[in-house]
Each structure stands twice: as C-alpha cells, then as structure tokens.
Amino acid sequence: MGVPVGTNVPDDDIYNTKFLDLCKGLNLDKNAASRAWETYLAVKENYSLDGDPSHWLACAIYVACRNVTEHTVGDSETLIEGNLVSLTRLLRLCNISLIHFIGKSKKWADMINMPPELRRKIDKLEKNFAVSMVIFKKFQPIFGAMFNISKDEQTKTRCSKKQKVTCSASKLFEFCWTLFIVAKSEFPDLSENLVNSYHLLLACCDYVYTNILIADLRDLLNKSFGGLPHDFESTSYVSPSKPVCVIDYLCQQYDGITTDAKVIKEYFWKTNLKKLIEKKVLKGDPDLNLLLDVVNFDFNYKAINKRYEQYVLSVGEFDERIFLSENANIEIGASNECTTEDLAKEMKNQKNNLFNPQTPLTGRNHLKPKIDLSDESTPVKNASEMVFKVQSILADCSPYPSDKLITLLKSCSTTLKSEIEDLINMLGSKFCSQYSQVDHNSALHNDFAEKRLIMAKIWFYKLFENIIAKEAKNPKYDIKNLICHTIFHETLFACCLEMVIFACNSQRAFPWVLNALQIHPYHFYKVIEVIVRVEDKLPRDMIKHLNRVEEQVLDSLSWQSESPLWDLINRNNKLIPHYDDIALVSVGGGAQVSHLNHKIENNRFAHKDSPVSDRFISPAPGQPNIKMGKQVTVNENRQYFSVASRSNGVSLPTVTGPLKKIGTLGLFFRKFYNLASVRMQDLCYQLSINDEDLMRKIWTCFEHVIIEHTDMMRDRHLDQILMCTIYIICRVVNLNLSFQAIMKCYRTQPQSASHIYRSVLITPRNPSQENDGAQRDTEQRIDLIKFYNTIFVQIVRDNALKYSTNSNNDNLTLSPLPATKTQLQSPTTRRVNDRLPIFIRKLEAQASPIKSPIRPLSYCINQSPKKDLENINMITMRAITKKRNISDGHHDGPITKQKTPSPPVITKRLQGLLEERMEHNTDK
C-alpha cells in the first residue's frame, strides 16, 4: 500500500485488459469472478494500491476462490477448497513470484479485514512453502550421495506425454521428489511440521533406494554411498529380493531421529503407498516393491504426476514441483545470484523468520549465553537437536510418580496419588482426542499423540517432584497448599505438553494445548516462571518460546471477555493496583511519587521467600482472607481435593497479610506492568524520547487508563493502548511525532503484528454473547488511528491535558518508571549488538562500559576525527567478512572477487545517530 507508482489506470481498462484475461486463463466461474472484482473495487476505493494492478487482482482472485468449499460430484467426503484454480498458474498469469504474493496477500488481508480462517490459510501456505524449501535443500545432497547423477546430468530432456519414460537419474530425481510431495499431501499434519516432513523424505529416499536394489539398476547407485550392501562390488553380488532398510544410516549422517523416522515410515509412508497400489494409482507388488521396475516406471512416473496435479487443483496450494523447474528462482522470488540450493537463505533474510523467531523483550535474563554455530546450524538440525535435548532432560525418568514423590503425597493424603493420576489421565485423553482430530487420518496420529503424551507425563512428574522438594526445604511452607490445587496440576501438565509439542516442531501453535484441555490462558502464566527457574537445563529456544507464550497471555489472551481475570477484578471491587504497590524492587521517585513504597517488598529476597502456592491461592490486595481448609470452588482457584477430610483433620493455615503476599491478581499486574514498561521504554528509545519526565508522564497516563478505564483492555491488545498513550502525551506536550512514526518503531519489536494496528475492536463484546457466532461475525473493527480518534481520545483527553506544558497544575504527581533490568545495570550505556562489543553512551558518562587491558576505540560525536569512526566501521565489516569466510570453507584456487558488502545494521545505527546529533547542533 501507499502512493501509486506510475500511472493511474482507469478501472474499465483494468477490467477489459487484465481481469477478463485472467478469468479466461484460469477458467474462473462467474460467481468467483464477480466476488473478486467487487472486492478489488472496494479496496481500491479506500486504499492506494501501488505497483502492478495484476498483483492485487491475484490476491482478490485467490481469496475469492479459497473462500469457497464444495463437495465433489458423487463424493460427499472429498472437499474442493481452491475452486479448481491452480495457484501456480494464477501467479504465472499475473507475473508475480510466490514470496512477493505472500507479502501482498497479507496486506490484502488487512485491507479487507479478512476472517481468521482465511488468514490461517495464508499463514499455512507460507509455512508449507518454508518447510518445503528447507526440505528440498536437504533432499539434493542426500539424493546426490545415494544415487549416481553424473552420467545424465547433461542430458536432461523433457519427454512428451506419449513418449515412454525410462528410469534415468534425472527422472528418478523428479519421481522421488514428486512421490514425496504426494505422500506429504495425504497427511496435512506433516505439511507444516519440519521434522516430520524431513523424516517422511528420509522414508521416501529409503524406499526408492530399496526399489533400485531390487530392480538391479546398479548403474543408478553411487558406489561411494555408505549404505550399500557390503558385497556390492564383488562379482558374486546378487540383488536382494526383500527390502533393505537404510533409515539408521541416513539418520546418522543427515541429522534424523531414528525412532521418529521409522514410525513415519511404518505408519505413514507404507500406509499411503499401500493405498495407492490397492487403488491401482501405482503399479507394484503386494510387498510394495517393483515401482521402479522397467515395466512399471513409465506408468508410475506419469501417474504420480497426475495424482499430484489433481491434489493441487483441489486444495488451491502452490505446486511444489516448482523446485524442479529451471526457472525456480524467478517463480519463487529468489534473487538472481541465488541458486536453487540456497533458496532457504531467502526466507532466512525475512524479518519474521519461521524457523528462528526473535527473542522477546522480556525474560532475557533467563537465557544462557548464545553459542554461535551459524556455520553448522540448519533448521532441520536445530529442530532435531531440540528433541535430543528434551530426551536428555527426561533420561532415567518415568511417566509415573517416583518413590520419593509417592511418599510425599501419602504424607498429605492416602488417595492423593490416585486422584492426581486420574486427573493427568483425563487430561491426556483430551489431548490425544484433540490431537487426532486435525484431519481425516486421525487413526494414524494416535501413535504420535501417545509418544508426545508419554514425554509430557515424564516431564510433569519430574517437575512436580522438583517443585515440591524445593518448597519443602523451607519449614515455613506447607506443601499441602500447592499439592491440593487442581489448577496447579492442570497448568503444569499443560505447560509440559506445550514444551513437548514445541520441541517436536508441531504445527499446533499456542494456545492450541489450552483449548484442547479447556484451560483458560489466564491461569497458564502462573506456572511458566516456576518451570523456568526449576528446570535449569531448558534449551535457549525453549525459554524464548515460554517467554513469548507468557507475553501473549499478559498482553491479550488474559483480557478476553470470557477471562477469569474480569471476575477476579470484580471480586476485588474493581480496584487495580498501581505498579509501585506490587513492585519487587523499590522504584523510588522522590517527592513526586504518589504512592510511597515503604509498605511493599523492596528486595529480591522477598520474592524468593514466597511459596509457589501464593500464585494460586493467596488473596489479592483488598480481598478478604480465604480459608482453604474445606473444598472451595471459585473461578480463579479450582480446588477439587477436600484436604480437611483426608489429612487427619489438619486444615490448611489461613493466609494473611495482603500487603506482604500480593496474591494472584497482584502477581498478574506486576508482570503486566513490567511487560508494558519494557515495551514502552523500547518504543521511547527508538523514538528518541530521552526525557525522563516525559516518559513518566506517558507511564502515569498509561496507569490511569488501566486503573480507571480497565474495560479499554477488554478484547484488545496491550500494544494498542501503549501506542495511543504515547501519541496523546506527545501531542499535549507539543512534541512533533506522528502516529505513523510510532507504528514504524513498533514494527521492529519482536512481538509486532500488522493486525494489532489494522484491526482494533470498536466496542468490547458482550460476555453473554461470546459463544454466539453471529455476534462474532457482526463485530466491527477499525484501524488503530480511527480507534484513537473515535474512542481513546474521548475517554483519556481530560486526564492527558493535565500533563500539558501549558497546564498550571503544580500539584501534578507522576508515577515512577518501573525499574527494568537495563535501568538497574546500565542507565547510561546501551550495547548496539550482542555479537560485537560496541556501545553507545551519553557524553557526560565517565565510566567505560567494558574493562579491558587494550585501549578501546571510541568516537565522540562532533569532537573526534572522522578516521576514528572509520576504524570502528572497518572492525564491524571485518567481523562479517570473517564469518562468511568460515562458512564458505577454504579454497586452494584463486579467490574470486566479491561484491563489497552493504553496511551492517551496527554501522547504520551509528551513522544515523551521528546525523541526528549534527542536525541538532546545526539547529542550535
């Protein structure tokens, strides 16, 4: 979107010269064509569509076709989702690459306020494409290692449909890839899962290799392949009559997980192949062999391509045979210098990389130092290593309570062990049932569901025992408070399932597990930090994932209309605490601080000295004390175990002292405020808002919105309120800052998403109508700027004007800024990049951020000579060049001349800071 580039073509000319030709070339039906054209005109009326109109027409046609699902004639179970329109043909007619189309379609989704279901289809298209691209990159070296492609590499000729196809190396390459993508298409659960798709590829290569041996096509085999029979080179060699398995060798050499690969082969690959042979789609014997026999190869080669073409038309997906095309780079959208083997790098350069997501802004203190293995890491290897790390964590543990844990449970109640086991089994049954309902091949997913469930049970009992053991070390804690609360067990088990699913690279993204187990996200945040602190061997990526999950719960999921948070707020008389009332660390603000901090916890010892059970059962500030001796059922704390009747009459102690134990509501808002503060201060830094007084005004106004107008958050997102607050305060203090500038900086944050500022709910939904589908369909959404003008400013204006520079309010009190980790450790110094020791600090700061015997290079703006900055730039450039040389390997021959690399982000940021300072000094 934006200002149109080029000429403004009339709608009639577009319709007659482009749209009609597209409809004719795609054989599009009238209904879909009219829907696409009407949508295009409506969008063009409200937005400026830049670039080639055909590209936007491609988006309109794609959505119009994907929005229709029909049954095939005579088959009520087979659905046609793509309206029999080939996406690959649509892109070719519109002259747009796949990567470019995915980017356009996301903008189109925002402009037409696309329903979530269609958005998920576009996301799935992108995910499938990313997975297939990585898999194809892995397929090429594996195929080259197994088969001899040197002989007919130069003789690739395209056969006509009537010409008989012989089993050459090039045709075998095409057949193997097509056979793989046909098998993958039969199991939608595998399409977005990188690890499972890769194991399916290994099963395909293993199968093709076995058929080559049985057919005695030894000329097609690479004699240096390590998986060949030991007597392959001998004169007495006889081709085997039964299949030969090389899965173990392939997994060992190419980063596979042997057990998972064999499960895929047995339950997915063989099952699908048997079905194809029984339906006579392919020719082979009952033992699933002879597919590559001289008699059968021609038929099977053509049949498998026909089968895949039918699939592509029926679902509207992109044709994955595009990787076999000579024009693959152009059609996919890779750069001209990029070869087919390097296509994965094209996706890696995109901001929202699907295999290496950014680190969240919060929780970074839990991360261990990063080990740079960029020269060896691949998405498949990283995903496999995650499973290996989880297996090592769970080694020597069992999916049932240990003797030590059983003893602890019996000390509380004789029936507690069986009740907890019954609860976990019930949750496990829910998980397996939902896991197997993803698609029509549910029976084939039971094995995977059971494996994931066993790993989760092992992890649950391991964590449960460690948490209880840690609690029991403090004599002041009564472990019954924690053991006897079902919500603790539910969330702990759900988190174990979430970690296992993430480790296995499943497509079931958060909060799928919570929906499957019917647990609301609000309860989930309570257990995340506990797990991260107890399980010290968690991989970096797992901790990052849990950080992202916690942020999702805090910034939006807990604010949904049906959230228990609203009931808890109502029970607390709608009293929302200020941050300094619940802060861990004294945030001090001098005389201007409205809430003195002498009553709150002011050191980290107080945090460590509070039991985990406080997260689940302690009262919130202002609430009456809750006696937990009898069975209690409330929206926040579901306690199903009657402790008093099962613990020899021993009732649980009454929890007192709301000022010392803030309760679950206080804990939630402590984490919520911390998240809001980190994001706000990051935005302020990027917007060059360095005045602490202005930042405190923004924070005070934000607190006012949350405390006095809490309903503003209902069914909305924290980032929406933050951006509006920053803008309104900048307006009242006469700071020239546009809303577009705020949104531009927001897009650099790791959690940013376009729908946050393009789709804001106008009025909160009525909780009583939450499950009414019609209510959801009729809800009205607008973009963030319209929301600010129509709703936010009307409610917040009077309070915001108090902070105006023209205001005479001498008694104005400002809330202190929350003390983030960055503020505590380095208030004047900021590191530009984690990889290089380059810092930016204020001129008046005297202390160096690093202690080194070597004199550091420095550049003082408007004081140091130009060569000092050039020396710093040379170091950053040299570091990048060295990294590229390592990954490229050593070359004995002459080094080819390379293009001068573009300035890295570090240099750009330093240069940008220099230009801003120079402009500032010039104005003076």
The answer to whether residue 782 scores a pLDDT higher than 60 is yes
Q: What is the pLDDT of residue 634?
A: 32
Residue 833: other Cβ atoms inside 10 A = 14
Q: Which of 151-165, 424-438, 500-514 has the lowest mean pLDDT?
A: 151-165
Query: What is the three-class DSSP state of 780?
Result: coil
Average the pLDDT over 328-344 and give the result: 55
Q: What is the pLDDT of residue 808?
A: 64
> pLDDT grade, residue 378 (50/70/90)?
low
The answer to whether residue 134 scores a pLDDT higher than 80 is yes
Q: Is 1:33 a contact under the CB 8 Å cutoff?
A: no
Model pLDDT for residues 870-887, shown as the tens digit of each residue: 777 777 666 444 333 333
Q: What is the pLDDT of residue 191?
A: 67
The answer to whether residue 609 scores a pLDDT higher than 90 is no
Q: Which of 214-218, 821-825, 862-866, 909-913 has the lowest mean pLDDT?
A: 821-825
Contacts of 205 (CB under 8 A, 6+ apart): 139, 142, 143, 146, 176, 250
The answer to whether residue 708 scores a pLDDT higher than 90 is yes
The answer to whether residue 696 scores a pLDDT higher than 90 is yes
Q: Is 172:220 a contact under the CB 8 Å cutoff?
A: yes
Average the pLDDT over 735-744 and give the result: 91
The answer to whether residue 917 scores a pLDDT higher than 60 is no
> pLDDT grade, residue 287 (50/70/90)?
confident
The answer to whether residue 622 scores a pLDDT higher than 60 is no
Q: What is the DSSP string of 302-313?
A: HHHHHHHHHHHH
Q: What is the pLDDT of residue 495?
A: 96
Q: What is the DSSP string of 603-671?
A: SHHHHHTS-TTHHHHSPPTTPPP---SS--B-SS-B--S--TTTTTT-PPPPP--TTT--HHHHHHHHH
Q: What is the pLDDT of residue 906?
A: 54
The answer to whether residue 202 scores a pLDDT higher than 90 is yes
Query: What is the three-class DSSP state of 360?
Result: coil
Of residues 685, 716, 706, 623, the one with CA closest to residue 828: 685
Average the pLDDT over 342-353 and give the result: 39
Average the pLDDT over 608-633 and give the result: 46
Q: Which of 195-204, 245-254, 493-502, 584-593 has the lowest mean pLDDT?
A: 584-593
The answer to whether residue 836 scores a pLDDT higher than 70 is no
The answer to whether residue 805 scores a pLDDT higher than 80 is no
Q: What is the pLDDT of residue 275?
A: 87
Return left, alpha or beta for 622; rule: phi > 0 is left, psi -120 to 50 is alpha, else beta: left
Model pLDDT for residues 530-558, shown as the tens digit of each residue: 999 898 889 888 999 999 999 999 999 99
Model pLDDT for residues 238-257, shown as the tens digit of each residue: 888 788 889 999 988 888 88
Q: What is the pLDDT of residue 600?
A: 31
Top pLDDT among 176 and 887 is at 176
The answer to whether residue 654 scores a pLDDT higher than 50 is no
Mapping DSSP onto H, E and C, the string for 20-86 reads HHHHHHHCCCHHHHHHHHHHHHHHHHHCCCCCCHHHHHHHHHHHHHHCCCEEECCEEEEEECCCCCC
> pLDDT grade, residue 820 (50/70/90)?
low
Q: In the structure encoding, which two tokens stand for residue 88, read together? A: 């690959």
Q: What is the pLDDT of residue 684?
A: 92
Q: What is the pLDDT of residue 919?
A: 52
Top pLDDT among 297 and 867 is at 297
Q: Is 910:868 a contact under the CB 8 Å cutoff?
A: no
Q: Which of 19-28, 130-139, 309-318, 355-364 has the lowest mean pLDDT?
A: 355-364
Q: What is the pLDDT of residue 445?
A: 60
> pLDDT grade, residue 485 (50/70/90)?
confident
Helix, strand, coil abundance in the chain, percent, nearest 5: 55, 0, 40
Q: What is the pLDDT of residue 809?
A: 65
The answer to whether residue 642 scores a pLDDT higher than 60 is no
Query: Which range scores top for mean pLDDT: 309-323, 701-715, 833-847?
Result: 701-715
Top pLDDT among 462 and 8 is at 462
Query: What is the three-class DSSP state of 94?
Result: helix
- Residue 554, classified by CB atoms within 10 Å of its CB into exposed (0-12), middle (13-18) or buried (19+), is buried
Query: Which range scores top for mean pLDDT: 24-33, 163-172, 695-704, 764-773?
Result: 695-704
The answer to whether residue 440 scores a pLDDT higher than 70 is no
Of residues 184, 134, 439, 195, the one with CA closest to residue 317: 184
Q: Which of 219-233, 351-365, 674-688 has the lowest mean pLDDT?
A: 351-365
Q: Which of 218-222, 420-424, 833-837 has the lowest mean pLDDT?
A: 833-837
The answer to whether residue 355 scores a pLDDT higher than 60 is no
Q: What is the pLDDT of residue 781?
A: 82
The answer to whether residue 598 scores a pLDDT higher than 60 is no
DSSP class of 147: B
Contacts of 629 (CB under 8 A, 6+ apart): 643, 644, 651, 652
What whole-number percentage of the chain has pLDDT above 90?
A: 24
Q: In the structure encoding, which two tokens stand for residue 262, read together? A: 């064999």
Q: What is the pLDDT of residue 514?
A: 94
The answer to whether residue 441 scores a pLDDT higher than 90 is no
Residue 521: other Cβ atoms inside 10 A = 25
Q: What is the DSSP string of 429-457?
A: HHHHHHHTTSSS-HHHHHHHHHHHHHHHH
Q: What is the pLDDT of residue 862?
A: 66
Query: What is the three-class DSSP state of 494?
Result: helix
Q: What is the pLDDT of residue 902?
A: 44
Q: Calculate the average pLDDT of the chain.
A: 75
Q: In the structure encoding, which two tokens stand for residue 681, read together? A: 């201060």
The answer to whether residue 775 scores a pLDDT higher than 60 is no
